[in-house]
Structure 1
Amino acid sequence: MKTKSWITSGLLLLVVAIVLAGCGSSKESSTDSATNSKTLTIGNATDIESFDPHNNNNTSSEAVLVNMFDYLVKNDNEQKKVPVLATSWEQVNDTTWRFKLREGVTFHNGDPFTAADVKYTIDRVAKDSALKQNSYFKSIKEVKVVDDYTIDMITDGPDPLLLNRLSKMGAGILPSKYIKEKGIDAFLKSPVGTGPYKFSKWTKDDRVELVKNDKYFGEAPKWDTVVFRSIPEASTRVSELLAGGIDIASGIPSTDVERIQSEEGKQIVKAPIQRVLQLILRETEGTVTADPKVREAIDFAIDKQGIVDSIAGGAGIVTRTSVTPGNFGADPSLYKQTLYDPAKAKQLLQESGHAGAELNMTVSSQYKEYAEVVAAMLNEAGFKANLEVLEPSAFSERYSSKSFKEIFMIGIGNSLFDASNNYNRYLKTEAAGETDYNNPKVEKLLQDALVNMDPASREKQYQEVQQILAEDRPAVYLFQMEGIYGADNRVKFTPRSDEMFYADDITSVNG
């Protein structure tokens, strides 16, 4: 059987990367996590962007901030809405929802939580287009204060997703009095929420330290201190876990699973997550990827199942859609599907007249190994793929500025648990400057679905969108990822599909 050159080169690169990372990392010791059962330390690949819940745009940020800032409602482990700062809610009419708020809650600085804070928070994120979360909330027209503990939230039209919006990043309630008196810059340096954990220290690109909120309105926090460490190199995260420097390590490579499992006192914990690894393709006039045959060639050139088997260690499910089962609007006909055909990829590229064309692909270092294999596959199909690997913070800045060239690779989750979260990026205004995708039929379907209160017809709208995008290919979807975590046996940890780290869902076996 013919050996696939991309597997050989990709695995060689992977081994070299791991060896070099292991040699170059400096091992820090944690005097907290291994010796103090009341301190929880989690190692992530990326740092938070800031302490502004309205101006962050990645899951790693939200996974930290959910411990500091409460939502009106939140998702439980089965994605059902449960009360937090709102005790009850009802839909008054198609455009108005009434929320009863929890009394007796205080912010970390002692200010009382009232309806004024909800109004300030939602008005800010809904009206300031410069905020990264604005696109999720701009349908909210007004928040009316009925009394100190009752508000009416009014949308500019029917909104089937209001509760979904209020249970995700961007809806973390801010202290209006504190910010109005001190200013937003002072808040960002010393952030204040109502959550079970309070801000202690942030060393950018190193760690966020939180301490328990003794005055939390809910169940008493389980940990004295919670530390989120930013450790971009997977090999370093593994080393820190084995050395006792962290209790939980996210994003464990398949090549390290056996090593962790064989270590006394350590374990591997797996769970399917919402995240789909994908290539986003620029269709801007004048770029090679503006040619539909080039985009199709890219799709046919990639052996998705081979990547899952060789690099992900089988922890993934190939897909031609990013709306996976469990999300509203999923199209099962595109799930577990792939079009790998290297001969056809070469043929399409020849027909396009772009054989030998350069493709510039950018990726965050956390997905470096996947990108190296994809680049090898594209080269084998007749492209000249140039790979740019950025540290997570630099990638995030490039992502926000929409300044990638032909392709960028990214893993995108779904905090709304709804197809709109995946596909609103292809609305004309949202796509401008990123993909520049523009399909009038898709535009109408997406706009109509945003105000469609009938679940059955709304689901069909999103399924039709997925079928069109599968042919237009503004993105090439690779596979749904599985979360692989390493953990110390001293903690009991069950991963969530939304990748949140609610510290109080993680318990110490020592009590």
Structure 2
Amino acid sequence: MKWRWLAGSVILAVIVTMLAGCSSLIGNPARMEQTDASKVLTIGTTADIESFDPHNNNNTASEAVLVNMFDYLLKNDNDQKKVPVLATSWEQTDDNTWRFKLRQGVKFHNGDPFTAADVKYTFERIAKDTSLKQNIYFKNIAEVRVIDHYTVDIVTDGPEPLLLNRLSKMGAGILPSHYIDTNGMAAFLNHPVGTGPYQFGQWIKDDRVELVRNDNYFGSKPKWNKVVFRAIPDSASRVSELMAGNIDIATGVPSTDIERIQHTDGKAIVKTPIQRVLQIILRMSEGSPTANPKVREAMDLAIDKQHLVNTVAGGTGIVTRTSVTPGNFGANVSLYKQSLYNLPRAKQLLQEAGYRSGGPAITLSVFSPYKPYAEAISTMLDQAGFKTTLDVLEPSVFSERYSSKSFKEAFMIGIGNSLFDASNNFNRYLKSEAAGETDYNNPQTERLLQAAAINMDTVSREKQYQQVQQILAEDRPAIYLFQMEGIYGIDHRVTFKPRKDEMFYVDEITTSS
């Protein structure tokens, strides 16, 4: 059976790594000329980008910037419907093959024409290079066949129920094959080139990314002359910059600052539930105290999740025992809005685990924006009998530990879901992926995850992921805390409606005047 999609017109978290081999300032100063201040948009973010390689980033903070430079074949609108970008139509010709018709007349920022060769280069690179952070999401692509200059077949090595989801998320940004073949990847990283509505201006690492309008964009004329993404990890500093009028939008506003911003002339708060779930991931390696299931259960029962939401989060959040929230394929709603807080039982579990005179020593690593949550959780754990050490890290250090899987017993992280599918959250618990991080290994979970990955029947596939969530809720390789809300402070000169996926498609942001 052939399925055909013909779409209409083109409609953070938060971790960061260092970019090896790049200077702290890259760009073309000549491009950063003086411009009308009313046409400059400045966004204060929690973290800098990892790099300008869309295939080698793994956090929302990076993707939220890069989506303005690198187009996808298709993307999600605000309702998560697929809309065309560099592809104008697509159809599934058999279980393993999708055919895409490409948009003609598109040029990269350096003037090179966009063709099927760029699609082939992009997806065969990310599918074959296992060193790339996004490889895990695209490794099932076996081949990209060029039919003609503006037609490609993407062939997978088996049934792939999520190909369209993958092509509209982080990692699917189209690269300029001729430019990279001619100049090399190092040159590309120093002066990146995409097809998007905004092009590279300059990058001052750990400070800001500046993008400038692409006057040759194939779609609607870009609304801003320049867009500045300022990396301001400290939340108090972000809010201060908003209040001083130095930024238009501040991400990740703490609950303690909401009222102050709301009562300041010319400022406002906007918020929306997002895909991100705050969680604690636990090491189950032999010899670790968290290898003991009673210890993991005691941690879960010692944490009063609703108290965290009511106090530290200022009431913005929904407690959960799963990281797949409603609105994502495969959500198990029986685990949503659920918490098992029971301090007496947590103390009893530690005794049953053999800790009668002193609880287990736990190091909880967290990157700085989540410090208030970690401090509250540390107090709760210690009340149950744990001996908790907080390890508060700057974003770059946290990212290095995350990439190298070198945390001790536990680390806290907010994980989003750009796929809008349960697989995005749970493939980390496949034995091969869990090795070195959680070392989780449950044969039943493994079978279900492997089967769901190639299951083209949506009904049975959904049940597989719901069963996985039930197992993980009992095994506890992670303790899920609550679904977060995106809280943004804005200047009244801009109109901004936050997206659930936390992206900043900057042309969706307009001036209020």
Question: When the two structures are superposed, what TM-score results if normalisation uses the length of structure 2?
Answer: 0.93
Contact 2:57/2:134 (<8 A) preserved: yes
Task: Determine the structure 2 residue equivalent to 1:281.
Answer: 282
Task: Determine the structure 2 residue equivalent to 1:141.
Answer: 142
Q: SS of the residue aligned with 2:480?
A: strand
Task: Determine the structure 1 residue equivalent to 2:465.
Answer: 462
Task: Give the whole-Å Cα distance in 2 for the aligned partners of 1:127 and 1:375.
Answer: 42
Task: Give the whole-Å Cα distance in 2 for the aligned partners of 1:350 and 1:462.
Answer: 34
Task: Determine the structure 1 residue equivalent to 2:367.
Answer: 364
Q: Which amino acid aligns with 1:430?
A: E
Task: Determine the structure 2 residue equivalent to 1:393.
Answer: 396
Counterparts in 2 of 1:102-181, with a 5 A limit? 102-181=103-182
Task: Determine the structure 2 residue equivalent to 1:506.
Answer: 509
Task: Give the whole-Å Cα distance in 1 for the aligned partners of 2:361 and 2:412.
Answer: 16
Q: SS of the residue aligned with 1:49?
A: coil
Task: Give the whole-Å Cα distance in 2 for the aligned partners of 1:199 and 1:463.
Answer: 43
Contact 1:108/1:213 (<8 A) preserved: yes
Contact 1:33/1:40 (<8 A) preserved: no
Q: SS of the residue aligned with 1:37?
A: helix
TM superposition shift of 1:435: 0.4
Task: Give the whole-Å Cα distance in 1 for the aligned partners of 2:360 and 2:458.
Answer: 44
Q: SS of the residue aligned with 1:410?
A: strand
Q: Which amino acid aligns with 2:411?
A: F
TM superposition shift of 1:357: 1.4
Task: Give the whole-Å Cα distance in 2 for the aligned partners of 1:430 and 1:267.
Answer: 42
Task: Give the whole-Å Cα distance in 1 for the aligned partners of 2:301 and 2:512.
Answer: 49
Task: Determine the structure 2 residue equivalent to 1:376.
Answer: 379
Q: Which amino acid aligns with 2:460?
A: S
What does the per-residue CA deviation read over 1:174-216, in whole Å, with 9 as the maximum and x for residues that have no partner? Answer: 0000111111111001000000000011011100000000000
Q: SS of the residue aligned with 1:362?
A: strand
Task: Determine the structure 2 residue equivalent to 1:453.
Answer: 456
Contact 2:35/2:225 (<8 A) preserved: no
Task: Determine the structure 2 residue equivalent to 1:307.
Answer: 308
Task: Give the whole-Å Cα distance in 2 for the aligned partners of 1:245 and 1:351.
Answer: 55
Task: Give the whole-Å Cα distance in 2 for the aligned partners of 1:328 and 1:218.
Answer: 31
What does the per-residue CA deviation read over 1:367-390, in whole Å, with 9 as the maximum and x for residues that have no partner? Answer: 010001111111111011010111
Distance 1:209 1:500, change over 3 A: same
Task: Determine the structure 2 residue equivalent to 1:346.
Answer: 347
Q: SS of the residue aligned with 1:173?
A: coil
Identity of aligned residues (%): 73
Distance 1:120 1:205, change over 3 A: same
Task: Determine the structure 2 residue equivalent to 1:197.
Answer: 198
Counterparts in 2 of 1:20-419, with a 5 A limit? 36-354=37-355, 355-419=358-422
Q: Deviating runs (4+, > 4 A) in structure 1? A: 31-35
TM superposition shift of 1:356: 2.1
Distance 1:38 1:110, change over 3 A: same
Task: Give the whole-Å Cα distance in 1 for the aligned partners of 2:34 and 2:80.
Answer: 30
Task: Give the whole-Å Cα distance in 2 for the aligned partners of 1:324 and 1:192.
Answer: 36
TM superposition shift of 1:32: 11
Contact 2:127/2:139 (<8 A) preserved: yes
Contact 2:97/2:156 (<8 A) preserved: yes
What does the per-residue CA deviation read over 1:210-246, in whole Å, with 9 as the maximum and x for residues that have no partner? Answer: 0000000000100000000000110100000000010
Task: Give the whole-Å Cα distance in 2 for the aligned partners of 1:380 and 1:244.
Answer: 43
Distance 1:314 1:144, change over 3 A: same
Contact 1:271/1:495 (<8 A) preserved: yes
Task: Give the whole-Å Cα distance in 2 for the aligned partners of 1:58 and 1:478.
Answer: 20
Question: When the two structures are superposed, what TM-score results if normalisation uses the length of structure 1?
Answer: 0.93
Task: Give the whole-Å Cα distance in 1 for the aligned partners of 2:454 and 2:495.
Answer: 42
Distance 1:290 1:233, change over 3 A: same
Contact 2:101/2:151 (<8 A) preserved: yes
What does the per-residue CA deviation read over 1:313-340, in whole Å, with 9 as the maximum and x for residues that have no partner? Answer: 0000000000000000000100000000
Q: SS of the residue aligned with 2:437?
A: coil
Contact 1:272/1:481 (<8 A) preserved: yes
Task: Give the whole-Å Cα distance in 1 for the aligned partners of 2:34 and 2:260.
Answer: 21
What does the per-residue CA deviation read over 1:385-410, in whole Å, with 9 as the maximum and x for residues that have no partner? Answer: 01011111211111111111100000
Contact 1:279/1:408 (<8 A) preserved: yes
What does the per-residue CA deviation read over 1:80-112, in whole Å, with 9 as the maximum and x for residues that have no partner? Answer: 000000000000000000000000000000000
Task: Give the whole-Å Cα distance in 2 for the aligned partners of 1:350 and 1:498.
Answer: 42
Q: SS of the residue aligned with 1:105?
A: coil
Q: Which amino acid aligns with 2:209?
A: V
For 1:489, which of 492, 495, 498 is the aligned residue? 492
Task: Give the whole-Å Cα distance in 2 for the aligned partners of 1:206 and 1:410.
Answer: 23
How many residues were matched structurally? Answer: 480
Task: Give the whole-Å Cα distance in 2 for the aligned partners of 1:34 and 1:331.
Answer: 50
Task: Give the whole-Å Cα distance in 1 for the aligned partners of 2:380 and 2:506.
Answer: 41
TM superposition shift of 1:35: 7.5
Task: Give the whole-Å Cα distance in 1 for the aligned partners of 2:33 and 2:131.
Answer: 39
